[in-house]
Amino acid sequence: MNGSSPVTQNRIIITTVGDTTCSDNAKETFQNIVNENPDVNLFLGDSSYSMDATCFIDIFKSFNGLKEKTIYSRGNHDDKEDESDTVKEQLEQYFGITDWTVSQQQKNVYIICMNSQDPDYDLKDKDQYNWVKSKLKEATRLRDEENKIDWIVVMIHKPLYTLKGQHKPERKARDLYQPLFDKHQVDLVLHGHTHNMQRTHPIKYGGLDNEPIITESGLDFSQDHGQIYIISGAGGRKLYKFAEPKNSWTPFAQDEEYGYHLLVIEGKKIDIFAKSNDGNILEQITVKK
């Protein structure tokens, strides 16, 4: 082939954010997300931060069509861990959620939405672990044998990696899932929970109590690679300041501005933007295969 097939066939716009509340900052975040005209919106959990999700649902109701584009990873402020099961039930009813673990193929992207609120989610051979394993197998087959997808994106509220600050990383889940993500060549892992923005180099599992291994091939994902971990938790809730502003595997972090992430996928290329609500691009990287 002469390569003339239009890349726009496989163009897909994904927006992602979490940790919003119902504040003016949150409304601005969602307005900006709607302005990006996404094909898919990945909500990374933690909605109203109250015992009632009505104000959060009202924001969604004010944006025609946003609900239908949204995949939702449940946060600790979306149920009785920090709020109430009323919040969970309101979200289930409004978004039509019957299962908080969801997989979905959107053009050449395979999305796996995990649920860190499942008490067994970080235990081997439990339901979620087995489900993730089977979905990763399916995604790998669609990519390597059937040529139907190029990218695997995982979303889960509580982060496997986060800089020192308000929350600790989910070490047990990391030990359990990252070797699977390495094996199946997952590309991106999206998190909320930490109220700022962070982005790692592509990293592989480094073993118990060890630092991760930074993939030497960098952003060239045509070679064997680790996953890029993105935290997009600056959606509207009061921002968390870093106790440790950077480490060797986290080249981008910011705790000053509210905003969201934008992924523009065209075939075997993803442009990843961290955007502030006042329209600034805080960081842009390009990943290619």
Nearer to Fe ion, 108 or 196 (CB): 196
Question: Looking at beta carbons, which residue is closest to Fe ion?
Answer: 193
Could you give the CA distance from residue 237 to residue 240 in angstroms, rounded to a whole number?
Answer: 9
Cα-to-chain-centroid distance, residue 223: 23
Min separation Cβ 77 and Fe ion, Å: 6
Could you give the CA distance from residue 92 to residue 130 in angstroms, rounded to a whole number?
Answer: 23
Among 41, 48, 76, 90, binds Fe ion (CB under 5 A): 76
The reply on whether position 46 binds Fe ion by CB under 5 A is yes
Tokens of 7: 């890349």
CA distances from 223 to 202, 236, 268, 276 (A): 12, 37, 13, 32
Residue type, 164: K
- Residues 261, 275: contact at Cβ < 8 Å? yes
The reply on whether position 193 binds Fe ion by CB under 5 A is yes
Min separation Cβ 195 and Fe ion, Å: 8
- Give the number of other Cβ atoms within 10 Å of residue 109's Cβ: 23
- In SS3 terms, 23-69 reads as CHHHHHHHHHHHHCCCCEEEECCCCCCCCCCHHHHHHHHCCCCHHHH
- Token pair 């480094």 is found at 206
Give the binding-site size for Fe ion (rule: CB under 5 A): 4
Nearer to Fe ion, 75 or 212 (CB): 75
The reply on whether position 75 binds Fe ion by CB under 5 A is yes
Nearer to Fe ion, 193 or 201 (CB): 193
- Tell me 94's DSSP state: H
The reply on whether position 170 binds Fe ion by CB under 5 A is no
Min separation Cβ 23 and Fe ion, Å: 16
Nearer to Fe ion, 184 or 193 (CB): 193
Q: Which stretch binds Fe ion (CB under 5 A): 39-47, 196-204, 221-229, 235-243?
A: 39-47
Nearer to Fe ion, 231 or 272 (CB): 231
Min separation Cβ 137 and Fe ion, Å: 29
Q: What residues make contact with Fe ion under the rule CB under 5 A?
A: 46, 75-76, 193
